[in-house]
């Protein structure tokens, strides 16, 4: 069971978070009907109570426990060492299957329905809007304000960890609040499939259909998993039609657009394209910082801006990983009793991201160069031809060429110029570096600043 709990947890948090927090946890078995987990210290104990209690309870619920209880005990150092030495740990009383001597353990329950509830944290208020997600956000808000009327279905796609589930839940919360009495159903495609299989097995197709066809808002997550499941597609097709004809709102998420979902029936694909298809991209640096900032505020962690920026530079695509990195930094600083500094942060993240180069963006190079030369980014990008702007402009172009994967035309466009200007700048700087020590020092300093997160000891 503990392995199942861990499996559930792992699916719901980032790898970083999992390794930071759950890898060192020891299962101490069941006492008085509660699953007891051993943690390393009182800080971890607090942390688990505050951040992972719900998740663990959910995990137990998903395994059939009706009234799951979890408690955390600080392991004495000796005990921890002993448990670490034993591999595997002794089998504790499994939860959900009470032994005759332990009548208070929750009874086994075979879930026939996978009812999923909305995550209270996934609201519009908690959703940071940036250029990467503003269209999806606007569409979701429009749908939340006039369900069934704005766009139906709303199809949101994007890579993992970019906020699709968050946005769907946000619509659910919004509608639940504004339109009490509306029936809302959130389901993953996996659960929908399982429900269908159970309904077929238990001869409960009528209940199944009633459940899904009587809602006002149906949120179906990760619809790409319909691929290749013919019977589920067939049933979903009818569910979709029943809801659509009654002007009930449908929101679907996927990791790719409908046209790229292989082995999806044409009639479903075309229905998915009836409404609005919108995507979420990876967040820009500023959006990542804003997300970290909100996260820190929510957890009442007072962490300086430059440290948040450092974290935001290291994790560039997946927001779940970004949040995990923040936790890791917080844990590192707390466990070692040091302040949140850039060096503490890079140490905390060094194991995880050791092999990962910091990703540099054009705007960062521009800003750093501007700061180095004591002028504004606008001036560098502007039309000025005086030597004191031309040199920084050429340096910025040179460093962007070196540190990013952007093409000459892309860089040119960023500066409102053409690719030959960039080419010229690159060769000018290359040539000047050989004879101009001051320039070389400036370029080196900028490169270090942009490329390596910590300027201190490494
Ligand atoms: P997906 O469903 O696309 O895989 P999730 O919705 O599960 O991604 O988001 C992953 C994590 O990132 C969640 O904790 C979510 O709250 C957070 N997140 C994603 N986008 C944002 C955002 N724009 N603002 C704040 N948090 C976000
Ligand atoms: Mg999701």
d(CA 204, CA 195): 10
Identify which ligand lies nearest to the alpha carbon of 190. Answer: 2
pLDDT higher than 70, residue 266: yes
Q: Which residues surround ligand 2, an ion (CB under 5 A)?
A: 164-165
What is the band of 94 on the pLDDT scale with cuts at 50, 70, 90? very low
pLDDT tens-digit profile of 268-315? 999 999 999 999 999 999 999 999 999 999 888 889 999 999 999 988
Give kind and range of the element (H or E) at residue 379: helix 377-381
Contact 380, 389 (CB under 8 A): yes
Contact 275, 113 (CB under 8 A): no
Identify which ligand lies nearest to the alpha carbon of 281. Answer: 1
391: left (phi over 0), alpha (psi -120 to 50) or beta: alpha
- Residue minimizing CA distance to atom 20 of ligand 1: 163
Question: Does residue 118's CB lie within 6 angstroms of at least one atom of ligand 1?
Answer: no
- Does 165 carry a binding-site annotation? yes
- The ligand 1 atom at the shortest distance from the C-alpha of residue 221 is 2
User: If you measure from the C-alpha of residue 157 to the centroid of ligand 2, how many angstroms do you get, rounded to a whole number?
Assistant: 10
Q: How far is CA 67 from CA 3, 20, 62, 104, 454, in A?
A: 19, 27, 11, 11, 48
pLDDT of residue 227: 92
- Residue minimizing CA distance to atom 18 of ligand 1: 163
Q: How far is CA 343 from CA 286, 335, 350, in A?
A: 21, 15, 10
Q: What are phi and psi of 283, to 5 degrees?
A: -75, 145
d(CA 82, CA 328): 26
Question: Does residue 162's CB lie within 6 angstroms of at least one atom of ligand 1?
Answer: yes
Question: Does residue 122's CB lie within 6 angstroms of at least one atom of ligand 1?
Answer: yes
- Does 248 carry a binding-site annotation? no
Q: For a pocket test of ligand 1, which of 124, 126, 135, 162 has the largest count of ligand atoms closer than 8 A to its C-beta? A: 162
User: If you measure from the C-alpha of residue 312 to the centroid of ligand 1, how many angstroms do you get, rounded to a whole number?
Assistant: 15
What is the predicted ipTM?
0.99
338-377 burial, b at 16+ Cβ within 10 Å, e below that, comes to: eebbbbbbbbbbeebbeeeeeebbbebbbbbbbebbebeb
d(CA 278, CA 77): 52
The packing angle between helices 285-298 and 319-336, to 10°, is 50
pLDDT of residue 18: 80
Average pLDDT in the chain: 85
pLDDT tens-digit profile of 344-398? 888 888 766 544 455 788 998 999 999 989 999 999 999 999 999 999 999 999 9
pTM score over 0.80:
no
Find, among 387, 346, 380, the residue nearest to 363 by Cα: 380
Identify which ligand lies nearest to the alpha carbon of 318. Answer: 1
């Amino acid at each position: 069971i503990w392995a199942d709990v861990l499996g559930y947890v792992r699916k719901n948090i980032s790898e970083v978070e999992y390794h930071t927090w759950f890898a060192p946890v020891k299962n101490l078995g069941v006492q008085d009907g509660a699953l007891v987990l051993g943690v390393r210290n009182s800080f971890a104990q607090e942390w688990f109570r505050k951040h992972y209690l719900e998740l663990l309870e959910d995990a137990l619920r998903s395994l059939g426990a009706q009234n799951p209880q979890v408690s955390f005990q600080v392991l004495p150092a000796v005990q921890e060492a002993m448990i670490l030495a034993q591999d595997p740990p002794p089998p504790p009383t499994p939860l959900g299957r009470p032994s005759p001597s332990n009548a208070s353990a929750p009874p086994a329950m075979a879930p026939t329905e996978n009812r999923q509830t909305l995550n209270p944290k996934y609201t519009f208020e908690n959703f940071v809007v940036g250029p990467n997600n503003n269209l999806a956000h606007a569409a979701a808000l429009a749908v939340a304000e006039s369900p069934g009327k704005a766009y139906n279905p709303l199809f949101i796609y994007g890579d993992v960890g970019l906020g699709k589930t968050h946005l769907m839940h946000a619509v659910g919360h919004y509608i639940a609040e504004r339109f009490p009495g509306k029936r809302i159903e959130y389901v993953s495609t996996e659960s929908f499939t399982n429900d269908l299989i159970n309904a077929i097995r238990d001869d409960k197709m009528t209940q199944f259909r009633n459940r899904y066809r009587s809602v006002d808002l149906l949120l179906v997550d990760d619809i790409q998993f319909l691929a290749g499941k013919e019977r589920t597609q067939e049933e979903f097709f009818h569910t979709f039609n029943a809801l659509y004809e009654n002007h009930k709102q449908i929101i679907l998420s996927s990791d790719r657009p409908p046209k790229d979902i292989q082995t999806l029936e044409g009639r479903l694909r075309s229905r998915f394209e009836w409404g609005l298809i919108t995507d979420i991209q990876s967040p820009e640096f500023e959006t990542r910082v804003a997300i970290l900032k909100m996260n820190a505020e929510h957890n009442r962690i007072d962490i300086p801006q430059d440290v948040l920026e450092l974290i935001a530079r290291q994790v560039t695509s997946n927001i779940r990983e970004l949040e995990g990195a923040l936790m890791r930094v917080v844990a590192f600083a707390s466990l070692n009793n040091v302040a949140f500094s850039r060096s503490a942060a890079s140490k905390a993240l060094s194991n995880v991201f050791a092999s990962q180069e910091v990703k540099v963006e054009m705007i960062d190079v521009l800003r750093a160069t501007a700061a180095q030369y004591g002028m504004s980014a606008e001036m560098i990008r502007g039309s000025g031809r005086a030597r004191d702007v031309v040199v920084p402009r050429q340096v910025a172009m040179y460093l962007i060429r070196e540190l990013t994967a952007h093409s000459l035309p892309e860089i040119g466009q960023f500066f409102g110029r053409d690719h030959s200007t960039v080419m010229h700048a690159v060769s000018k700087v290359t040539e000047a570096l050989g004879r101009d020590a001051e320039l070389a020092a400036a370029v080196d300093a900028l490169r270090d600043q942009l490329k390596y997160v910590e300027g201190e000891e490494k």
